[in-house]
């Protein structure tokens, strides 16, 4: 059974009790809205319920969010949209071939519409699906963020190691200050270690910011070496 069928089954099991709401629902079922008395909120709800039972559908929330009621004239579609608006929901009107549709495409609005029509079981179904989707999206965002941060960390560590190796090959680590030389050796020996762990491996432990500063200085020194080596040799004229 489709989600629309489940909603309609739930609605037909809860017919209006008062005479004026029954008349309003019949007006919605028949589409004869001109003489309908919709001055009361309960009658507007009954009218919408009748209109949905007659020509409405709602998609399975597991797949997409779409609620619509078909109308044979623009006037009726606009009237129905205005009734829905009085109940606190903004619905849109669009033409589809020879007919017009009053529709919603957001989960909040559709859940509100189900509540207005008193399809409370269906409303809870869609709310549960929305909660699961939100949790899944939140987890995916966190995982993607963690992956991006990991890639960033790995990339930074590799640049540090490349810079240290460049210094080692082109100038020698013995040309560095004692602090930088020790930092360089510790990083080369622990390529995967995070900054705060590297800091605790030093003779005199330092914090994450101190480690970051020393590694940045090593990268700067390597950059200076590369810059000097890339310059053409100068020759003196006789």
Domain edges within the chain: 3-125, 143-228
CA distance 163 to 184: 9
**Contact between residue 77 and residue 93 where contact means Cβ atoms under 8 Å apart:** yes
pLDDT reported for residue 15: 87
Q: For residue range 58-77, what is the model confidence (pLDDT) as tens digits?
A: 999 888 899 999 999 999 99
**Shortest CA distance to 7 belongs to which of 112, 117, 132?**
117
Asked whether the CA dihedral 161, 162, 163, 167 is positive or negative, the reply is positive
Contacts of 35 (CB under 8 A, 6+ apart): 27
The DSSP element (H or E) to which 35 belongs, if any, is none
* CB within 8 Å of 24: residues ≥ 6 apart: 16, 36, 37, 38, 43, 44, 46, 47, 50
What SS3 state is found at 57? Answer: strand
Q: Please give the CATH architecture assigned to the domain spanning 3-125.
A: Roll (3.10)
User: What pLDDT was estimated at residue 210?
Assistant: 94
Q: Would you say the pTM of this structure is higher than 0.75?
A: no
Low-confidence ranges of the chain (pLDDT < 50): 231-238
- CA–CA distances in Å: residue 97 to residues 68, 71, 78: 15, 11, 17
CB 124 within 8 Å of CB 132? no
pLDDT at 68: 95
pLDDT score of 49: 95
Q: Is 88 left (phi over 0), alpha (psi -120 to 50) or beta?
A: left
Helix and strand totals (H; E) in the chain: 9, 4
């Amino acid at each position: 059974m489709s989600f629309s069928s489940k909603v309609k089954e739930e609605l037909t099991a809860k017919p209006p009790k008062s005479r004026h709401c029954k008349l309003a629902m019949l007006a919605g079922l028949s589409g004869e809205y001109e003489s309908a008395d919709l001055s009361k909120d309960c009658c507007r709800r009954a009218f919408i319920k009748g209109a949905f039972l007659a020509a409405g559908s709602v998609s399975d929330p597991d797949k997409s969010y779409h609620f619509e009621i078909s109308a044979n004239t623009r006037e009726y579609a606009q009237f129905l949209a205005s009734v829905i608006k009085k109940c606190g929901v903004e619905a849109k009107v669009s033409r589809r071939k020879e007919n017009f549709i009053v529709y919603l495409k957001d989960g909040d609005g559709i859940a509100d519409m189900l509540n207005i029509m008193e399809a409370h079981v269906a409303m809870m179904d869609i709310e549960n699906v929305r909660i699961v989707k939100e949790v899944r999206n939140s987890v995916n965002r966190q995982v993607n963020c963690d992956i991006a941060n990991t890639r960033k960390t790995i990339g930074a560590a590799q640049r540090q190691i490349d810079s240290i190796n460049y210094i080692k090959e082109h100038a020698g680590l013995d040309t560095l200050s004692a602090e930088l030389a020790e930092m360089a050796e510790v990083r080369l020996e622990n390529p995967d270690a995070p900054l705060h762990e590297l800091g605790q491996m030093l003779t005199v432990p330092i914090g994450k910011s101190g480690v970051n500063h020393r590694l940045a200085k090593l990268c700067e020194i390597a950059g200076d070496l590369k810059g000097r080596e890339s310059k053409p040799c100068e020759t003196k004229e006789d």
